[in-house]
Amino acid sequence: MSDAERECVDGDPDGDRRDRPALAAESGGSVPDLTSWLAHRATVREFDPDAEIPDGEVREMVDAGRKAPTSGTTQMYSFVWVRDPATRERIHDLCDRGTEQIEEASHFLVVCIDLRRIRRLLEHRDREFQITPAMGLLEGAIDASLAAMGTMTAAESRGYGVCPIGNILNGLPAVAETVGVPEGVLPIFGLCIGVPRHGEASENAPRVPLDAVLHEDGYDDPDGDLLEACHDAMDAMYGDSVYGDSTREWHGTLVRYWGPDGFMNRREGTLLAALRQQGFFAARGLDEPADGENADSADEDSDECGDD
């Protein structure tokens, strides 16, 4: 072990961190420890509609997000920066739930899985591309989410507020058309970036206890006590907090999302319809899923849709 490595291991974690190999050399070791700051970050839903964030800053923040890890260097994502207010209004309508922030934030981006660019890159060099819907969806969603998270962290570190908008999934096929993305490109969530109306991001939601999500050497099913601790921790959000309403309980939220008639079940249909529309099932002789009727009925059922 070199002196530098030994210092890195033995050194004071709060002291000089210049020798940590993971810190980019260009930063000169001046990267702050973000651990405690990340613990207090919060989603912002109320933006100052008159605040302006220069375009150049948006480009910088997205550019920073692009340095997120990407599977095999393939970068299976694109962000569509929606500039036209009428398009933002239309997307807001398609979300079918209160997401005024889409119109009020200084900027609105749509985060997409992008397999099309891969196909075009290959075909440009006379190579064949074969779409694999499940892998495309999984790998593309991971890549896109990591890049979006980097972009969000860059924005929050500059004092801006961010809000991901999963509600676009409520009307996904129409959102894809409205955003104007061709086959091979699938929007997965929106991203608002703006100036918080009340000056700062106020309060984040609680989380289930760390022991429920961090498993050592295998997976431990949570016992009854830990399940109760999860509910207790999350119920706290409905008390005296930004989420208000002390009559609500978190298990009700879980039912609304993941119960048999929950939002996720309803969105399954719109997702399948959007995958079909965007050509994710179009190659290798793959048929659309047998459950095609489910996809068609999704629009009719969409009077109660997810709010996140």
- CB of residue 213 vs ligand FMN: minimum separation in angstroms? 14
Residue of 78, 106, 153, 167 that binds ligand FMN (CB under 6 A): 167
Region from 26-34, 41-49, 227-235, 255-263 binding ligand FMN, contact rule CB under 6 A: 41-49
**11 scored as a contact of ligand FMN (CB under 6 A):** no
**45 scored as a contact of ligand FMN (CB under 6 A):** yes
- Applying the rule CB under 6 A, the residues between 67 and 86 that interact with ligand FMN are none
**155 scored as a contact of ligand FMN (CB under 6 A):** no
Give alpha helix (H) positions in 192-280: 210-213, 224-235, 250-258, 263-277
Please report which helix (H) or strand (E) contains residue 172, including its range: helix 172-179
**166 scored as a contact of ligand FMN (CB under 6 A):** yes
| Closest-CA residue to 77 (of 168, 149, 7, 143) | 143
- CB of residue 165 vs ligand FMN: minimum separation in angstroms? 4
Which residues have a Cβ under 8 Å from the Cβ of 256 and sit 6 or more positions away?
A: 262, 263, 306
Which residues have a Cβ under 8 Å from the Cβ of 66 and sit 6 or more positions away?
A: 75, 147, 150
**227 scored as a contact of ligand FMN (CB under 6 A):** no
- CB of residue 263 vs ligand FMN: minimum separation in angstroms? 10
Q: Which residues in 231-251 are b (16+ Cβ under 10 Å) and which e?
A: eeebbebbeeeeeeeeeeebe
**253 scored as a contact of ligand FMN (CB under 6 A):** no
Region from 17-25, 42-50, 221-229, 297-305 binding ligand FMN, contact rule CB under 6 A: 42-50
What DSSP character marks residue 301? T
The sheet with strand 185-194 has its strands ordered as: 77-81, 107-114, 185-194, 161-165
**Residue whose C-beta lies closest to ligand FMN:** 166
Nearer to ligand FMN (CB atom), residue 138 or residue 205: 205
Q: Which two tokens stand for residue 173?
A: 């096929």
Would you mind telling me the total number of residues written for the chain in this entry? 308
- Residue pair 195/47 in contact (Cβ under 8 Å)? The answer is yes
**204 scored as a contact of ligand FMN (CB under 6 A):** yes
**42 scored as a contact of ligand FMN (CB under 6 A):** yes
Nearer to ligand FMN (CB atom), residue 109 or residue 163: 163
Nearer to ligand FMN (CB atom), residue 24 or residue 205: 205
Amino acid identity of 248?
Answer: R
Give the interface with ligand FMN as residue ranges (CB under 6 A): 42-43, 45, 99, 163-167, 189, 204-205, 308
